[in-house]
Amino acid sequence: MTFPVLNISDRCPCLSGETYGECCHRFHQGSVPAPTAEALMRSRYSAFVTGDSSYLLRTWHPSTRPARLDLDPDRIWRRLDILSTSAGGPLDSTGIVTFAAHYREGGVPGVQRERSSFLREAGRWLYVEGE
C-alpha cells in the first residue's frame, strides 16, 4: 500500500471542515506555523494520513523526538476526534490536546487515544509527548 496523495481542494483529513489547502497543507509546506496546539495536533494527524514523516519530525520537540520515524502505509487513518483541549492558544506556552484517532489495519478497525502535550517555543508549537 501507499499513502494517499491529497489535492489542495480535497477535504482536509483532520475533519476541520476546510479543504486541505485552506487547512493542514499550509502547515505541512512550512508557509505558516500552526497557531494553536489543536491546529498542530490536527496537522500532525493529517501528516500521518499522508505519510509526511518529515513534518512529524519537524514538529516534534527535540527533547523527545526520535532519530527517525517509519510510518506504516498499511495503517489507514480514518477519522480524528478532538475530545478536549486545555490551554494551547495563540498566547499560551503550553497546551494539552486529548484525541481519538480511528484507523483500519489489515481490515481491522482500531483507535488510538492519547493525551498529547505541546510546547510553544520561538512562536512555533511542538509536540512533546503523549500518554
Q: CA–CA separation, 28 vs 92, rounded Å?
A: 22
pLDDT value of residue 1:
78
The predicted-structure confidence for 22-58, as pLDDT tens digits, reads as follows 999 999 999 999 999 999 999 999 999 999 999 999 9
Number of separate helices (H) and strands (E) present in the chain:
3, 4
pTM metric for this prediction: 0.97
Q: Are 97 and 119 in contact (CB under 8 A)?
A: no
Q: How many CB atoms lie within 10 A of CB 87?
A: 15
**Which CATH number is correct for 24-130, 1.50.10.10, 3.10.450.50, 3.40.50.150, 3.40.50.1100?**
3.10.450.50
CA proximity to 102, closest of 28, 57, 40, 49? 49
With the C-alpha atoms ordered 113, 116, 6, 12, is the resulting torsion angle positive or negative?
positive
Q: How many CB atoms lie within 10 A of CB 71?
A: 15
Q: Are 16 and 48 in contact (CB under 8 A)?
A: no
The predicted-structure confidence for 102-115, as pLDDT tens digits, reads as follows 999 999 999 999 99
Question: How high is the mean pLDDT of the chain?
Answer: 97
The predicted-structure confidence for 58-106, as pLDDT tens digits, reads as follows 999 999 999 999 999 999 999 999 999 999 999 999 999 999 999 999 9
